Each structure stands twice: as C-alpha cells, then as structure tokens.
Structure 1
Amino acid sequence: MLTVVRGGAAALMFFLELGVLGAAGYWGFTAGPNLAVRILLGLGAPAVLATLWGLFMAGGKAPHQLHGIARAVFEAAWFGAGALALAASGLVTAGVVFAAVYVVDAVLRLTFHAV
C-alpha cells in the first residue's frame, strides 16, 4: 500500500510539472496584444520555466540542485506560477483546482517520503 501511495504521488508530481508548462503556454498564447507577442509568450514562458526546473530541480541531475527550504520555496513558486497562469488566462476554477491538487500531492509526498 505504501509503495502505491509513493508511486502515485510521484506520478502526480510529474503530471503537475507538465501541467505548469502547459498552463504557462496557454497563458502566453492568450495574453499578448497581437499574434507575434502571443507566440513569443506562448513558447517563451514554458521554455523559461523548463530551463529553471532543469537548473534547480531536475531529479538529482540539476547542476544547482536545491535542498531543504530553498527547494520547498522554489517548488511552491513553480506550481503557484502554474495556478496563476491558469487564473490569469481566465480559467480561475482550473487554477484553484490545480493549486489544491498540488497541495494534496505535497502533503502526500511529505507524509510518505515520496520524491
């Protein structure tokens, strides 16, 4: 049972990570005043976020791996950015649900030492 919870929490974390990138892209493609800006934001926002994740959080392979409170703050900001991107693009309910799912997953990971 414990293995299932740990695996489920880790899988959910992965899908939430992808969700942040998707939310940032969606926000970008809906935010700009003209097509060129929307394309730039729609492709650029996920690229910037993916680069930050790769630099600081990427599963033990990040060149500047964060630990402890710095990791927790970065993670909260990362997933908060996904929730805010959804809300800013008009999907407020989706942003709230995204944030709630992240909080539940974080509690599960902390409780069961997953990820």
Structure 2
Amino acid sequence: MKALLLALIFLLELALLAAAGWWGFTRDAGWPVRLLAGLGAPLLIAVVWGLFCSPRASVSLPAPAKLGVQAACFVTGGLLLALAGRPGYGAVLVALWAVDKALLTALGDPV
C-alpha cells in the first residue's frame, strides 16, 4: 500500500509541473511570454521543490514547514490550472495530493 501511495505522489509531482507548464503555454500573450511562462513556471516550482521538499533537499526544514511548502506548491499548481481554464482538474490535483499525503502520514511516512 505504501509503495502505491509513494508512486502516486511521484506522479502527482509530475502532474504539478505539467500543470504549471500548461498554464504558461496557454497564456493569452505573445509566444515569447508563453514560452517564458511555460518553461519558467515549472522550473520555479522544481527549484523550490528541490531546495525544500525533495528527499535530498539542500535546505533542511522541520516537518511542519516542509509540509507547508509542499502544500503551497500543490495549491499553486491547482490555482494555475484554474487560471488556465481547468478548475476541476486543479481541485482534483490538490485533493489527490492531500488525501495521498494524509494516508502516507497515517502509515508513518515522514513528511
């Protein structure tokens, strides 16, 4: 069960990056802005995730703070999907992450 939940959370992290890219590439702007936003938004989220949330994060945070950064990343991804015209997908992304994280925490997985 735990392996399945860990696999799901990894897929959700990839979906988070895809959501940020989707938002950027669907902006109502010229192609340079869309390109910058479509590549820059996922890159920014990946850098934040790598610095604070990854298993080998450069900045070690206490568990509640790390959970807060993870939640902020996923809520941002959900909001970006909503801004791209897909609010339902954004809500599903955030809800699946929250349920998965709650189940992993209940199984004793560190944040």
TM over 0.5: yes
How far is the alpha carbon of 1:67 from its aligned partner? 2.4
Say if 1:9 and 1:114, in contact at 8 Å, map to a contact too: no
Structural RMSD (CA): 1.2
Equivalences for residues 70-109 of structure 1 within 5 A: 70-109=65-104
Report how many aligned residue pairs link the two structures.
Answer: 110
TM-superposition CA deviations, 1:70-115 (whole Å, max 9, x none) = 1111011011111111111000111111111111101111111235
Say if 2:20 and 2:80, in contact at 8 Å, map to a contact too: yes
Equivalent residue number for residue 39 of structure 1: 35
1:6 aligns with 2:2: yes
Structure 1 unmatched runs, 5+: none
Identity rate, percent: 40
1:30 aligns with 2:26: yes
Structure 2 unmatched runs, 5+: none
1:18 aligns with 2:14: yes
Greater relative CO, 1 or 2 (CA 8 Å, sep 6+): 1
Any runs of at least 4 consecutive aligned residues in structure 1 with deviations exceeding 4 A, and if so which? none
- Rounded Cα–Cα distance in structure 2 between residues aligned with 1:99 and 1:80: 6
Say if 2:49 and 2:70, in contact at 8 Å, map to a contact too: no
How far is the alpha carbon of 1:65 from its aligned partner? 2.4
- Rounded Cα–Cα distance in structure 2 between residues aligned with 1:105 and 1:37: 34
Say if 1:24 and 1:86, in contact at 8 Å, map to a contact too: yes
